[in-house]
Structure formats: C-alpha cells, structure tokens
Chain A
Amino acid sequence: MRIPTAALFGLFFTGLYFFIAIFADYIAPYGLGEIVGDVWEPARLGYFLGLTPDGYDEPQYWLGTDQIGRDLLTRMIYGGQTTIWIATMATILSFSTGTIMGFVAAVNGGWIDQALSRFIDLVMSIPSLIVALVVLSVLDTTVTTLILVMGLLDSTRVFRLARAVAVDITVMDYVEAARLRGEKVAWIIFREILPNALSPLVAEMGLRFIFMVLFISTLSFLGIGVQPPAADWGGIVKDNKDGINFGIGAALYPAVAIATLAISVNLVADWILNRTTSLKGGRG
C-alpha cells in the first residue's frame, strides 16, 4: 500500500502536534507559569533567520517571551495540549451524538424525525457563539463544560449532515432487505447505514475538528474559554495582541500553529476519504 506524499506530510505534522500535546509535560523546557525573563524578549528563531536588529546578542528563548516574561515555546506547547484536547473531545462528542441522532431520525422517520429535526432547527437558529457566551457566562468555565457546550452545539451541524446522508441510504433496497429480515434499528444503523455514510462523515470530521480549534480559540480570546493560568492558543493571542503595535510577533505563533494543524488534519482526512470510498475493501 502506497501513501501519497500529501497524506504523508499531513500524517507527519498531525502526528507531531498530537505527540507534543500528549507529552507536553516532558517536552516543555520550562514550567507553565514560570517567569523566566524580561517582557517580550526577541525570539532565537528570528535571530537565526536574520530578523533581529543589529547589535543584539543571540537570544536565549526559541520563540521569545510573552507579555509578562514567560517562555513562549512552553506556553505554545501547553496551549496546544489544551486546545487539541478540548477540540478532539468536543469533535468526538459532537460526532457521536450528531450522527446517532441523525441516523435515528432518518431510520425512524415520522414524528421522531420531525421532533428531532425541529428541535435542532430551533437550536441552530441562534448563532452558536451567542449561545456559548450565554451558557458559559452562567456556568463555571471548566474544561468539561467547554467540551460539553462546544460538542453539543456543534452536533446540530453533524445531525443535519448525518440525517441527509442516511435518508438517501435508508431508501436503498439493502436496508429494506434488512428490515424484511427483521433486523433491529441498531443493526440497521451501525451495520447497514454507518459504513456507507462514513466517507462524507470523515470528510466533515476533518473540517469540524478545525472549526472546534477556532471555536475554543475564539472563546479564549473573548476571555470565557480556558481560564488563566492555563494556556491555550486563543489565550496566547489575547495576551500578546498588544505586542503587535510594537512589532512583536508573539500573537502570530498560535495563528501559524492553527493554520498548519488545519492543513495537515485535512490532508489526512482527504486520504482516509479516498480509501473509504473504495467499494472493493481498499484492494482495488
């Protein structure tokens, strides 16, 4: 089996991000809240790229320091851990609830479908950021509540997709054959529909994961996401945004991280998509 170059590239970077996130405690050079130097010290990386003005010594910190003198690389690594953890868990939650609800609505039809679909319409009619703002301002902002709020809000989108895909599949003769055999709803959902709905769902999953990263970053930027002293990428942007006025690029690192993660995750999703569309079990 050959893996295309694009997928290899995506796999490598996705793997790297997840590896760093999981082993953040061992990889990060300093402690999460440890103040190691001056405010906004220049980055060593910039020195090697020739971006530091003349007359400076070689800086000590690879990405420099943040607005109160903490090592930015450490912050980015711990921030990545939080961001990726929350995004992953929320994606899993939104896909499992959204897909199952969507399939149940499609398979049963009738009033179950109506009730679920209209309820979802109702939730979707309010912008999810507004709902999140309201809910999170009332509840304690912990990682668990963040995951629950984001996952459940996003499951409405997944529900729509899953229902649309499943409605097309439920009218196929093989589903009718399963019904005539007397199969239970669970078999029809997991054995007849799910394998055939996987391709669009996987494609959507890649996208949704990135939307989750953006969502949690947005919430943190607005100050209702991950709370200090814990770090996450949105929070780092918020903390260092004033530095941009002074030509300090600390706030841009999370942007680069989000962009590369987005691209690599979707390269992997595309590859999985290609493999799952094959109707010959991937053996061509």
Chain B
Amino acid sequence: MATPLLSVRGLKIGARVYPPDAKPHDIDIVHGVDFDVEAGKVLGLIGESGAGKSTIGLAAMAYGRGGVKLTGGEVWVNGRDVLQSGTRDVRRLRGAEVTYVSQSAAASFPPAKRLMEQVIEAAVLQGKFSKSDAEARAIELFRKVDLPEPETIGNRFPHQVSGGQLQRCMTALALCPEPDLVVFDEPTTALDVTTQIDVLKAIKEAIRDTGVAALYITHDLAVVAQVSDHIMVLRQGEMVEYGTTDQIINAPVEDYTKALVSVRSIEHVEKTPTETPLLRVEGITARYKGTKFDVLKNINVELHPGQTLAVVGESGSGKSTLARVITGLLPPSQGNIHFNGRDLSAALKTRTRDDLRELQMIYQMADTAMNPRQTVGTIIGRPLEFYFGLKGAEKKKRIKELLEEIEMGDGFIDRYPAELSGGQKQRVCIARALAAKPKLIICDEVTSALDPLVADGILKLLLDLQKVEDVAYLFITHDLATVRAIADSIAVMYQGEVARYGGKTDVLSPPFDDYTDLLLSSVPEMRLGWLEEVIANRKMASGGN
C-alpha cells in the first residue's frame, strides 16, 4: 500500500485556560488521535460541538486556532512531519498542498476585494500558476461548482452573490492552487437545505473531478454520508469509531454512534383537530416599518388546543415574522388574530395581562434569551411573581416543581446561565414559559442551535410537557426532521406566503406542490447514494420539461 497523503499519529492538542479565580493551567482538547487519508479519498470527521473536530482539521495544516497548541504526536503530509517543520515549510504547505474551506463564507471573504482576486491569491502567491493561468483555472472551477456566469462572476464583490454561491466560490478558492488535500469545516451548516444540496453537489463533483483528498468536518451524519469514503466519529477529543461510511451508517458498533445514527427517531402520531381552534390567524399581512415590501401576505392558519403547528420554511420565508405578529411585537397591516375565543389586539401595549400570560415564547438562542445577571431562580420565579403574585416559600416551591418538570434538580436554583450547558439553558427557558401557565408557546427554532442528541432530548421534553400541561405549540423551524417528530399540522411558508397547509400526513404525502417537493427532497437522508439519487431525479424532471 502506498504511503497515505495525510497521516496523523497520536495527535494531542492542548490549550491554556484562564479561569477567573484559579491559576491558568493547560488542558487537553484532543487526546491522541490517529488516522490516515489516502490520495483522492474523503474522510468525514463527525462529532458534537466540543468534540475537537475543527481543531483536528486545522492541525492538518499545522495550525492551532486561538491559543490552541499542538502539544504532541505527528502529522505527516506528503511524507514529512509538518509539526516539526519550520515556519517556511509550513508556509509552503498552507494554501498550496493543503487548503481550507470555512463554515461562514460571508465572514471569511474580505468585502472590499473582488472574488477573482481572492480566489487566485494563494495559487499566485505560492508560485503555482501565473496570474492569467490562475484566472483561467478559476473560471474553469467556477463552472465546475455550477456558479452562474462563470466567465464574469469573478468580477463581483462578495456581497453581490448569495450565501450558497459564496460557499461555492470558497470551494473554488480552495481548489485553485491544485492542493492535495482540502479541509472542509462545516461548509454547509449555515445554509438552508435547498441551498445545501447545491453546495454539496458542487463539492462532491469537484472532489471527484480533481481527484483531491479531503477532510470533511460536520456534525450532520446524513451530510457526511453523501461525500465521504470513511467516517471517524469523535467525542470529547477522542475517537469513538472509525470505519467505512457504509459500516458507520448501516452497522455502527459503538453505542454513541448508534445514538447518532438513530437520532430523531421520535414517533408522534398526528392528533385530529378539535371543534374550536385555540389560535386563528386570519388574513395577516405585515411589513416592517419604513419598507414597502410585505413580509407576510395573507396568512391563514389555525392551531388547536394541546396540539402543535409547525411552520416550516427557509430563511427569509417570513416564519419568524409570523411569530412577531402573533406576539404583538409587529402589528400587522391587515388581518386579525383570534386567541382562546377572543380577539387579540394588534399591538403588544394594548394587550391584557391574561393575553400576555397565555401566550409565551421560547427563543432559538437560549444564551441571549436569559439575562446573564439573573440566577435560574430569578428567571423562572419572575413570571410566577409577575402573573400570580407568588412570594417567598410558595414561589420557591413552585420553582422547584418547574425544575422537576424540565428534568433538572433544585440544585440549579442559584446558578447563573453561564454555569449551564446549552441544553440546560434551553430547558430553563422552557420552564420560564411554563411558569406562566400558558395556553400557547411559540417555539422559534428552539433546537437549531443544539447538538442533535441534546435537541432530541428537548423535543422529547416538549412532547411530554404537552401531554401534562395541555399546551399548544407554534413550532417554527427549518428542519423537516423536527417537524416529522412533533407536528400535528404543518404550514410550509415560502416568500411570505403559506405554500401548503394541513395535517401532518396530508402535507407530507404526495402529490406535492413544487416548493414542498423541493424542500422535502433536499433534506439529507442517512443512507448512501441519496445525493446522487436526488440529483438524477432532478435532472430527469428538468429534462422532461
């Protein structure tokens, strides 16, 4: 067997932490990881946040980000140990032999330079191509990653192309110097599913056509299954399992991998609508102040007591605006909202205290949804005090009950949000909403910032609480797997309108309208060959027209 292109042996990565009241000390982030990548092969690194996958990816370029130090082990690229190489050697490695595609293309392109200039920069600097050759190669790569107008798109500035296009530009940028290895660090995580599929396709084809090897880092097993040959599962800086993609997906050995593969296996049977809806949104049209564009156009949906309405759509489809209209933060220009048998007044200021109490909200980012200067006890206790006038021991008793309900002990009462994990934070936000004894909770992307296993726990908790408290959810999400797991009815939103609306089974079964079809077929499925299938189907469909 030939020597692998990239060979990592016993890689250890550490960082110095500075806790406020203790002496600075070193901790290990990655505890000795081994793997090989052969020329032309793709290795997927997968794990939750904090697993060390990005850190390992960057180590392939002999780089430690933000004070991270490569403390031990060997990283062999093309037959030399880059951790032992001098600065000059490392400089020749980066941008020539190994290149990098980051998660947020928008934050990585300097806005003041044209795309072409940035795409060819490394190739020209490294002396791989002359300027004109590099430009010719860039145009060829633009074509390969399916960018529109490949001849001239390089003259645009980063803000003149869409997010998905920018991510494809970055792929072209990484491939331009003809590297041997590309590190893809969550390249599609920030994109909508319908955009993600285009980028995935571009990346996959580019890898196939150029014969480059790649490290593909992501937390989404379904995505990595489409592009990689091997997969390595990481957890807390250690390898959990390593195998071919086929083996990891179809026959995982370790419990942790099994949990990752089987995530979102919640079964939820659709409930039938009741006589009277709890919330009826009638002909809502809304626009933001100072604009002439309707973000919502004639929205009509209903939500029945104790049930869940999922509002699905891409970013910009108006789903969060709908939440703002219902909560009264953005009064609509037309339409009415009926809630619990009465008309809700349009503006927040004129709503009664009961209106406010019965309609609660949970946010996407639990970090910013809680005041960092208040303890968990204050955060949950305030609605009790505010709506029910509870004080002292009575209040404390109720706080303990609520903490019990969200499966956290009363030891958390005096903790600050900074002392909680991401999942715990979201649970406290749920308790705060429950404290008001609401009839309806609006959940705005509550699981999208969480790791899959944690998100799963939150969804299960929400479903359990729905049974106990008989509360209805308006669940805003872009993730169709979540929708399948918890919805009773679904509203698919597209460009400010409801494209499809009805019971879960109806909405998710054919015949579909064009947009719902596109959306549903874009959700990555955890099996091999899914991407090819979708692409083939779409080609066929467009060929038929």
Contacts and interface: CB of A to CB of B under 8 A. Distances in A.
A145 interface: no
B353 interface: yes
Contacts of B370: 174
Q: Is the interface of A mostly helix, strand, loop or mixed?
A: helix
Interface of B: 19-22, 327-329, 348, 351, 353, 356, 360-361, 363, 365, 368-375, 382-383, 386, 416-419, 432, 436
State which size class the interface on A falls in.
Answer: 20 to 34
B49 to A, nearest CB: 19
B462 to A, nearest CB: 18
A177 to B, nearest CB: 6
15 contacts: A173-B365, A173-B368, A174-B370, A176-B329, A177-B369, A179-B329, A180-B348, A181-B382, A191-B371, A195-B374, A196-B372, A279-B372, A279-B418, A280-B20, A283-B21
Contacts of A177: 361, 363, 369, 432
A74 to B, nearest CB: 45
Given A195-B373, A279-B417, A281-B416, A172 B356 contact: no
B371 A284 contact: no
A248 to B, nearest CB: 49
Contacts of A278: 20
Ranked 9 nearest A-B pairs via Cβ:
A284-B21, A195-B373, A279-B418, A173-B369, A182-B356, A174-B371, A173-B368, A173-B363, A279-B372
Contacts of B353: 182
A196 B20 contact: no
B386 A182 contact: yes
A172 B363 CA distance: 11
Contacts of A242: none
Given A279-B417, A280-B416, A181 B375 contact: no
B356 A180 contact: yes
A113 interface: no
Q: Which of A173, A176, A179 has the most CB of B within 10 A?
A: A173
A110 B356 CA distance: 24
A284 to B, nearest CB: 4
Nearest to B20: A284
Count chain B CB atoms within 10 A of each CB in A181, A191, A283, A284 and give the residue with the most.
A181
Contacts of B371: 174, 191-192, 195-196
A194 B234 CA distance: 42
B418 to A, nearest CB: 4
* Listed residue (B328, B416, B417) with the most chain A CB atoms within 10 angstroms of its CB: B416
Contacts of A195: 371, 373-374
B348 A181 contact: no
Interface in A224-241: none
A7 B436 CA distance: 45
A126 B516 CA distance: 62
